[in-house]
């Protein structure tokens, strides 16, 4: 039996068959209740790729950049992330503002890490990534200044990327 972190499995799956395929240095971010992350170099997950407790704006980054952070930014009236996504897609200014704030913060947090690592691909997954049409326009303008980064993407396979990565890990 082998164990693999879900963010590691996600990025391995995307490197093996998805959006990060062909990239020597890739970073995967999973956004759900919390923030997961993984760094990959030449098909291998690197140690110390976990960012969720990294300090940012006076606390752990996960407090700001996550589904939990998105709901906190919006306020108590949100029923859940799916409802907040629907409100933002429907044009509600408060919901759009919450997305702008959280994903601008993610871009600000990631930019120096992607630059230092020399990542050529960033794949953003997890449940929150289902709102890619709301996320990408906020992330991309800031992250394009990371000169090595050529790919900012959602997963090619949002549902099965982690399973594919776990299979890849088990086979190696």
Average pLDDT on 142-147 reads 95
**Arithmetic mean of pLDDT over the chain:** 93
Is the pLDDT at 15 greater than 90, yes or no? yes
More confident residue, 142 or 2: 142
Task: Identify the H or E element spanning 85.
Answer: helix 81-89
Bridge-based pairing state of the strands 44-45 and 35-41: antiparallel
Q: Which CATH number fits domain 6-171: 3.30.420.40, 3.40.190.10, 3.50.50.60, 3.40.50.300?
A: 3.30.420.40
User: In this model, does residue 110 exceed pLDDT 70?
Assistant: yes
pLDDT of 60 reads 97
- Decide which of 172 and 72 is more confident: 72
3-state SS string for 116-169: HHCCCEEEEECHHHHHHHHHHHHHHHHHCCCCCCCEEECCCCCCCHHHHHHHHH
**pTM passes above 0.85:** yes
């Amino acid at each position: 039996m082998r164990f693999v972190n879900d963010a590691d499995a996600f990025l391995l799956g995307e490197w093996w068959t998805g959006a990060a395929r062909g990239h020597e240095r890739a970073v995967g971010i999973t956004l759900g209740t919390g923030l997961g992350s993984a760094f990959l170099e030449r098909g291998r997950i690197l140690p110390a790729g976990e960012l969720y407790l990294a300090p940012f704006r006076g606390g752990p980054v996960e407090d700001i950049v996550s589904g939990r952070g998105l709901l906190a930014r919006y306020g108590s009236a949100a029923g859940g992330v799916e409802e907040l996504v629907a409100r933002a897609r429907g044009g509600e200014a408060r919901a759009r503002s919450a997305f702008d704030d959280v994903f601008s913060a993610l871009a600000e947090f990631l930019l120096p890490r992607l630059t230092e690592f020399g990542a050529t691909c960033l794949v953003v997954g997890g449940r929150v990534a289902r709102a890619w049409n709301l996320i990408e326009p906020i992330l991309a303008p800031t992250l394009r200044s990371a000169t090595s980064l050529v790919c900012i993407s959602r997963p090619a396979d949002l549902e099965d990327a982690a399973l594919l990565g776990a299979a890849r890990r088990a086979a190696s």
